[in-house]
Amino acid sequence: MAVGGGKNPTSILIMITSKTMPARLRFLPLVLLFVSSLFAVPSLRADEPEPTRESLLATGLITAEEFAAFEADGLDVEEIAEQVGFKEEYLEMVAEHGFHAGAFDFFVTSMLWTCIAAALVLLMHLGFASLEAGLTRSKNTVNILFKNVFIISTGILTYAVIGFNTHYPGDWIINGWLGIGGPIGDLNEDFTLGYGGVELAMTGYGDFIFQAMFAATAATIVSGSVAERIKLPSFMLFALVLVAIGYPIAGSWHWGEGWLSELSTPFYDFAGSTVVHAFGGFAALACVIILGPRRGKYTKTGIRPIFGHSMPLAAIGVFLLFFGWFGFNGGSVLSAEPKALGLVFTTTALAASAGALASMLASALFVRKPDLSMALNGVLGGLVSITAGADVVGPWSAVAMGAIGGVIVVAAILFFDRIRIDDPVGAISVHGVCGIWGTLAVAFFAPDEASFVSQLLGVIVVCGFAFLFSFAVFRLIKLAIGVRVDEEVEERGLDVEEHGAPAYQFGTDSSDVG
């Protein structure tokens, strides 16, 4: 048979065999075609098995001037590649597969992981909303959910308008301390394969969307602490200012190459035990002090328990947060580098588990009951505790850090209740206190990476700034429009009074309990 009519030999083979073979074997030519195509495509290997000057420059890891300086110091290409951030495993991949193909595969995989991690952090906001709603009374559920929808929406938008370029300033107004930026532009402009090299293997937009998901977390922490008695417009205004200005400024000191990163031993906070969580916790503390406790919480005779209306909803929220935290910590590797990613996932899971068990034991000892809300907060305490050092501590150090965090949560919640600081969800204890512990713990469990003095200094300044900034902003809002609802509104619940509809149309409102 002649080959013609635009058909190739493979297609003719398929036509012939599909007519002559038994039906159950007619898939074989397709299998053969697929296998043969693997050998037929042009090789993706680079011509040279080792990195070259041109291939290194193409990644953006190093400039031509820096390369020349290394050469002047007598370093060869492989030594320069190691100096600018190649991992040993990555060099082996380069030697086996060729630089360009390996780099592209690694970059694509890392970028995909970054986007997945960003989605997991977004899911955490559903966890926060569920936990806050479950631990508060049913008459305020719509208000809780509404605030959380507002927080993530305004967080992403304000991060695009001002936050990202304030968080990572191109130009400083006050060197190392303040650099107010404008809106994002085309983050794919001047795109190179190595946006930030092997240590930051993502595009500019990948970097933005991952960090944007973090931005609203501080305000979400505040939301739970001020629940059930704050005016909705007042909270929305405060959250907007905190997310747009306060959080990016504090974050720039560490992640934006500000003064904390320039210390003789740089401040170490891998994914934000202090820069995200303690910042939110101390912002919440400032607001709660101004706002005051819920009506009837504290009496002359003692503390009146106000029970949450749905412990199942609270538990769902914590498990969603646990799940999303793998994106929170895992995405902070900023690439798909396998050794680091596996370590971070493992330390995160171990610390959360140890925090849960330690809080169960602590609550049984201190409260005389195996308290579920304490156990749930113990999971979160363990997670916050490991967040600063998840990439540099070993598994058993992670267990110790999480377990201590679980005990700290219980003690802190009881302490704040004793001094009449009303925090309905325990957010100040979980994020503020455990955030401090997790950051300081890096100096104990990974002393080669951090010094206690640097860690303590960072904690004091970031938490102090969060408290003072929030106190000033919230106080101004109180003077301007007020921050607390009337007693009648608080008694009836914010759902009907501020939103015009209850969350549920059946059952007994748990506000009647206690």
How confident is the model over 14-35, as pLDDT tens digits?
A: 444 444 555 555 555 545 444 4
302 and 323 part of one domain: yes
Whether the predicted pLDDT of 193 surpasses 70: no
Q: Would you place residue 5 in the very low, low, confident or very high pLDDT band (cuts 50, 70, 90)?
A: very low
Centre a 10 Å sphere on the Cβ of residue 266 and count the other Cβ atoms it contains. 16
Q: Compare 6 and 445 and report the one with higher pLDDT.
A: 445
Q: Compare 490 and 358 and report the one with higher pLDDT.
A: 358
Most confident of 194-198, 309-313, 509-513: 309-313
73 and 156 part of one domain: no
Report CA-CA distances (Å) from 157 to 212, 220, 475, 481.
Answer: 9, 15, 25, 25
| Mean pLDDT, residues 310-336 taken together | 95
- The whole-number pLDDT of residue 109 equals 86
Whether the predicted pLDDT of 370 surpasses 80: yes
Domain boundary among 31, 63, 97: 97
Nearest Cα to Cα of residue 425 among 268, 281, 237, 211: 281
**Computed over its alpha carbons, how large is the radius of gyration of the chain?**
27
378 and 459 part of one domain: yes
- The whole-number pLDDT of residue 240 equals 95
Whether the predicted pLDDT of 253 surpasses 50: yes
Asked whether 125 and 152 are in contact (CB, 8 A), the reply is yes
Whether the predicted pLDDT of 189 surpasses 70: yes
- The whole-number pLDDT of residue 87 equals 47
309 and 262 part of one domain: yes
90 and 120 part of one domain: no
Q: Would residue 162 count as lying in a domain?
A: yes
**What is the CATH classification number for the domain harbouring 154?**
1.10.3430.10
330 and 432 part of one domain: yes
| Mean pLDDT, residues 472-482 taken together | 96
Q: Would residue 18 count as lying in a domain?
A: yes
23 and 72 part of one domain: no
Q: Would residue 395 count as lying in a domain?
A: yes
| Mean pLDDT, residues 338-366 taken together | 95
Which amino acid would we find at residue 342?
G
Q: Would residue 510 count as lying in a domain?
A: no
Q: Would residue 507 count as lying in a domain?
A: no
What CA–CA distance (Å, rounded) separates 382 from 375? 11
What CA–CA distance (Å, rounded) separates 246 from 216? 11
27 and 168 part of one domain: no
- Look at the chain and report how many structural domains it folds into: 3
327 and 455 part of one domain: yes
Nearest Cα to Cα of residue 378 among 325, 309, 311, 434: 434
Q: Would you place residue 299 in the very low, low, confident or very high pLDDT band (cuts 50, 70, 90)?
A: confident
- The whole-number pLDDT of residue 66 equals 82
pLDDT tens-digit readout, 201-229:
788 888 899 999 988 888 899 999 999 99
pLDDT tens-digit readout, 80-99:
777 776 545 455 555 554 44
pLDDT tens-digit readout, 60-77:
567 778 888 888 888 888
| Mean pLDDT, residues 414-432 taken together | 95
Whether the predicted pLDDT of 48 surpasses 50: no
Q: Would residue 403 count as lying in a domain?
A: yes
Residue 317 is encoded by which pair of tokens? Answer: 């929220």
Residue 471 is encoded by which pair of tokens? Answer: 């106190």
pLDDT tens-digit readout, 260-286:
999 999 999 999 999 999 999 999 999
205 and 223 part of one domain: yes
What CA–CA distance (Å, rounded) separates 169 from 464? 22
Q: Would you place residue 102 in the very low, low, confident or very high pLDDT band (cuts 50, 70, 90)?
A: low
Whether the predicted pLDDT of 142 surpasses 70: yes
What is the DSSP code (8-state) at residue 178? B
185 and 63 part of one domain: no
Q: Would residue 300 count as lying in a domain?
A: yes
| Mean pLDDT, residues 160-187 taken together | 89
| Mean pLDDT, residues 237-247 taken together | 95
| Mean pLDDT, residues 181-196 taken together | 73
- The whole-number pLDDT of residue 225 equals 95
**3-state percent helix, strand, coil for the chain, nearest multiple of 5:** 70, 0, 30
293 and 347 part of one domain: yes
Q: Provide the domain limits for residue 57.
A: 53-97
415-419, 461-465, 499-503: least confident range? 499-503
Q: Would residue 514 count as lying in a domain?
A: no
Phi (first) and psi of residue 309, to 5 degrees: -90, -10
| Mean pLDDT, residues 486-502 taken together | 91
- The whole-number pLDDT of residue 15 equals 44
| Mean pLDDT, residues 168-189 taken together | 86
Nearest Cα to Cα of residue 392 among 358, 441, 459: 441
Q: Would you place residue 509 in the very low, low, confident or very high pLDDT band (cuts 50, 70, 90)?
A: low
